[in-house]
Chain A
Amino acid sequence: MMSRSMRGRARRLTEFVIERLLFVCAAGSILVTAGIILVLAFETFEFLREVPITEFLFGTVWTPLFSDKHFGILPLAAGTLLIASIAMIVALPSGLLTAIYLSEYAPPGIRRIVRPTMEVLAGVPTVVYGYFALLFVTPILQSFLPGLSGFNALTPGIVMGIMILPLVSSLSEDALRSVPNGLREGAYALGATRMQAALRVVVPAALSGISAAAVLAVSRAIGETMIVAIAAGQQPRLTLDPRVPIEAMTAYIVQVALGDTPAGSLEYRTIFAVGMMLFISTFTLNLISNWLRERFREEYA
């Protein structure tokens, strides 16, 4: 009797310890996230005490490291958006078409080859993509696009599009495949061809899932760092011309972090302010993507 209750107590104690341990692990990631947000918010706040927020958000010149200082983030934001748009122009159509093919047309054998290959594409380190863009793609583009600079927005945009292609296609494919088969069969029953069923029934039915994939891809493109730091240049310039050197938000952070800007100075705080902007935009996009996915799930739950 006695030993039994002791064993029971010991077991309860172990359970208790394990539960707490698991809780600490789970709490750890939340605490780290909270810590990062706090640091970002604190440094951004300190930054905004010296630089009016209107200048930061709407200024058109960004030269915080030079003697004539301007803190308008628009040139950096324009650079980021320009590259992300080019990436989406590349990734969205081809990713979606790949997904439609894989989910609606491809025989299982081909699918078994294509999917892992695309995952390899997703596993290439981004620094490799960066040098691939700078040293391989740019010279090729220059041979038929006169006026294209060695550093420009076009190449990193295209290469980034290739990089996020697997993300778009595999998430879209998941969305397409989770459309209930009854819908397809219904379409066939009404005499639809395979293409009609795919494009007019399955794709619209999976649209919120596909949008979620697209939004997530935009978020990834905005946060991507190495490709733009290597191949796009380091010149904050407010332009939509994809042929000239520009600077993206992430590339600016890299540039300052690599130099020896003294900690605590205003120049140093700029990277937190820029980081905050990045965080807000990717966080918002991720929320939208989640919301879209939830909605999609509800439709067929």
Chain B
Amino acid sequence: MIVILALGLSACGGDANRSSTGAGSGVITADGSSTVFPATEAIAEEFQKANPGTRVTVGSSGTSGGFQKFCRNEIDISDASRPIRSSEVDACKAAGIEYIELPVAYDGLAVVVNPKNTWATSMTVAELKKMWEPAAQGKIMRWNQIRSDWPDREIHLFGAGVDSGTFDYFTEVINGKTDASRGDYTSSEDDNVIVQGVSGDENALGYFGFAYYEQNKDKLKLVGVDDGDDANGKGPILPSPETVKDGTYRPLSRPIFIYPKLQSLERPEVNSFVEFYVMKGAPLIREVGYIPLSDREYELVRARFKERKTGSMFSGEAHSQMTLEQLLTR
């Protein structure tokens, strides 16, 4: 009897302690990029374990879909695999919604070929463009059209589907214009289809998020990417946590973001969730396959969050020539 009572009491005490750390009860709503989803989901899980009574719902309606809901005041946090666009900045402003832009991790896009492909060990951005630009459709069909000493074999291309942020990003940095791509390739929103296609086909080449490469290392081979700019690493660079983080794997690496709403941060549970995200998120982010920011960058992000610095660092552009550290200290 006494034991049970004591247990009950201590349980109550535990709860009281927890709620006094700030979380309280309530529902936190996050939505947006399907790329950021695994990271936010993993952090939400840990956060809910530490704060029973608080629920975090994470959606994945795409970066644009997330911002639409965000600027309609329907969610607390918007997950984004690119910076907020100027049209979205305006929509939020019109609705009176203020937000803090917080980079939380890096994601690299990996270009991969079949392990039996012996020739394509690296490609320049210009070669990737030649392969993927709209003008290549129906014309660039064989490997030796990219480089003359490559074999005279058909190329089978696999890439992101038109609804994914990966497609937006790849087409923008490689082909120079968002959504401009050849259409005669196997396109899928499901990265597993691309893994399956490239791993089963000697003549294949595909691209998708680096996280998926890490889970399928044994079936795929990475292609080094050379951006022709020796200032950030000479020659072709293979994506790895290090090269993505130090900015040498360019241009196919990008930061991913969360945008908490300033008004929601007045609720203690939202505040402590975002705090948890930027303080303790790094190992969880690594676990789900993304590349954490550097310590210095995390420090700057935390400072930005503490100061409640609103607005975007990117002035509406999808990517910047500056490194994240430069942007954060600007």
Contact = CB atoms under 8 A, between A and B. Distances in A.
Nearest to B185: A235
Contacts of B163: 259-261
B199 interface: yes
Contacts of B199: 150
A258 B161 CA distance: 11
A66 B204 contact: no
Contact size range, A = 20 to 34
A260 B184 contact: no
B134 A67 contact: yes
A44 B134 CA distance: 27
- State the main secondary structure of chain B at its contact with A: loop
Contacts of B204: 149-150
B181 A66 contact: yes
B26 interface: no
Nearest to B64: A260
Interface in B191-225: 193, 196-204
Nearest to A259: B163
Interface centre among B61, B62, B182, B196 (most CB of A within 10 A): B196
A236 B137 contact: no
Interface of B: 61-62, 65, 134, 137-138, 154, 156-157, 161-163, 177, 179-189, 193, 196-204
Given A63-B182, A63-B184, A255-B161, 4 more contacts: A65-B183, A66-B183, A68-B134, A150-B198
Given A65-B162, A259-B161, A150 B183 contact: no
A127 to B, nearest CB: 14
B138 A66 contact: no
Interface centre among B157, B185, B186 (most CB of A within 10 A): B186
Nearest to B171: A67
A233 B203 CA distance: 14
Given A67-B180, A149-B200, A244-B154, A235 B161 contact: no
A239 to B, nearest CB: 10
A236 B184 contact: yes
B186 A233 contact: yes
B326 to A, nearest CB: 32
A245 interface: yes
A150 B114 CA distance: 11
B119 to A, nearest CB: 16
A260 B196 CA distance: 23
A142 B154 contact: no
A235 B154 contact: no
A142 B183 CA distance: 27
A68 B62 contact: no
18 contacts: A61-B183, A63-B183, A65-B187, A67-B179, A67-B181, A68-B182, A139-B200, A149-B203, A150-B196, A150-B201, A151-B200, A235-B157, A235-B187, A245-B186, A245-B201, A259-B162, A260-B61, A261-B163
A61 B184 contact: yes
B330 to A, nearest CB: 34
Contacts of A147: 202
Nearest to A247: B186
A151 B161 CA distance: 17
A134 interface: yes
A67 B184 CA distance: 12
A294 B231 CA distance: 78
Contacts of B200: 138-139, 142, 149-151
Interface in A177-219: none
Nearest to B61: A260
A258 B189 contact: yes
Nearest to B153: A147
Contact of A234 (B61, B137, B186, B203): B186
Interface string A118-144: 000000000000000010001100100
Nearest to B157: A235
